[in-house]
Amino acid sequence: RLSNTSSDPRIIIPPNSIFLDDMDSNNLHDPNNMMQLEHDTDDHFSAIEVDDVDHLLNFSEIPFDNLSDEDDVTVHSSSASLESSNNDEYPSSYQHHRFDRMTRDETASYQIMTLLDTAGAPRICYNRLIALLKKLSKNEGFDVKKAINRETLMNRLERRYQTRPRIQSAFVNKQEVLRFTFQDMLQDLLHSSSKHLHEILPSHEQDIPDARTAHELWNTRWMRSTFATHPYTNFNSKTDIMLPIILYMDKTGTDVNQRYSLEPVLFSVAAIPREQRESRHSWRHLGFVPQKQRCSDEDESSSDLQFYHNCLSYLLDGLREAQMNPPTVSVKLHNHGDTVQRRALLPLMVVMGDQLSQDTLCGRLKSNSGGAGRVHRSCMCSYLHIDDPFHKCKKVNIATLKLLMSHATTSDEDIASKISTILSQKDIRAAKTFLQRKRTMFRSILRHPFTTHPI
């Protein structure tokens, strides 16, 4: 709106649109179409933020890599040329509203920018898109008229892709779980990361470690001790290749309200340097752990945690089989130059995730909800002694944990089979009651001192 006390005929109304198709430029010069408002101190000019529009149209782009100064000459010179023509061509009353004078290039650029903004793209995406189009047009002779829509392009790429990743599925607790074939994904990862792949050798065969790679996982004590254990003691650099596996899993939401979660299980190899491993292109999917669905006829003995481990067992079957029977992979090594065949040795080195996923993986009570008695998964230190600097940590005894787990996971069918040979009904009831209480006791020990679920 405009607020003024004069009836100066030179005052014009800002257009509702900057596009020529949506407005009549003749109306801008017609005094009869001017909006007359009463004098009011609360009225403000709010039809278009003039300063923002001028800054938007005249803003100079930041130069991008691989682009010369000539590539952006139109963008850089637009502000100067527009400024020089303003003072000569138009009267002072038209200084801020010349949308009917916009060039075809300005209108088209604004439409592209509006499309990206509507789609929710970052503001820098427009500059990057324009820079990419200029680069393709200059270096490769790209014509935007010959650009292909998304569906056609994806169909063409699908036909040219020779070896598609095979997808397998199975039903776990009456729920479908999808996974990829591990060997296919491993081979695809080695092909895409061949130029960064480091050949991991035993300490007596490798050269003096480079100080720049001292932080890499292949220079750790774990790697040296792995070569000293079976079945890696007979490692042969001419026929074998060491590819330590790194797993990553973290649950994520698939909808806006985060009601339906999905946990992807990804893997990479420690032979890829850390800098390249931080890229998403250095990871491949093993499969997905879905959210457990509630069923009316669901067995009360089944739990979300047991379902999670059943799904994870199915997803890791391919890795487990590859560890038992090492597959032969094609890999391009730097010291050979050509693609060679190697037997892949795949020890599990690292499992990454947040606190919740690690607790779920270890069958531990959630520590972030206050139900955990132990501070850490590998030690028996409780929260009562966590501030004691002289407290000596005691490691969790795996043998004791397995013994407790075997008794705590006794099913009703196991109890029935144990008492099936008893003839007296009184003795049957007594034995059944004893075994059930024994199971409850072991579950209680697991839950409180060991902070572990019976799975």
Residue pointed to by tokens 């139109």: 74
Cα pseudo-dihedral 288, 291, 296, 301, rounded to 10: 80
pLDDT at 387: 84
Please list, residue by residue across 64-99, b when 16 or more beta carbons sit within 10 angstroms of its beta carbon and e when fewer do: eeebeeebbeebeebeeebeeeeeeeeeeebeebbb
Query: Is 323 exposed, middle or buried (CB count within 10 Å of its CB: 0-12, 13-18, 19+)?
Result: middle
Q: What is the DSSP letter of 164?
A: P
Determine the pLDDT at residue 48: 35
Helix (H, G, I), strand (E, B) or coil at 132: helix
Contact 302, 204 (CB under 8 A): no
**Mean pLDDT, each 10-residue run in order, the chain (455 residues):** 45 46 44 40 36 42 45 42 46 58 89 93 93 92 91 88 82 91 93 90 71 84 91 90 94 80 93 92 94 61 78 94 94 80 94 86 73 76 82 87 88 88 88 91 87 83
| pLDDT, tens digit, 9 for 90 and up, residues 65-119 | 444 444 444 444 344 444 444 444 444 444 566 667 788 899 999 999 999 999 9
The pLDDT value recorded for residue 295 is: 59
Alpha helices in 17-149 (DSSP H): 50-58, 73-89, 104-118, 124-140
pLDDT, position 204:
66
Can you read off the two tokens belonging to residue 407?
């008794």
- All residues at 6 or more sequence positions from 30 whose CB lies less than 8 Å from its CB, including other chains: none
Residue 382: its pLDDT value, please?
A: 80
Query: Using CA atoms, how far apart are residues 159 and 161, in angstroms rounded to an integer?
Result: 6
Q: What is the DSSP letter of 319?
A: H
- DSSP states along 59-71: PPPPP-TT--TTT
DSSP 28: G
End-to-end alpha carbon distance in the chain: 70
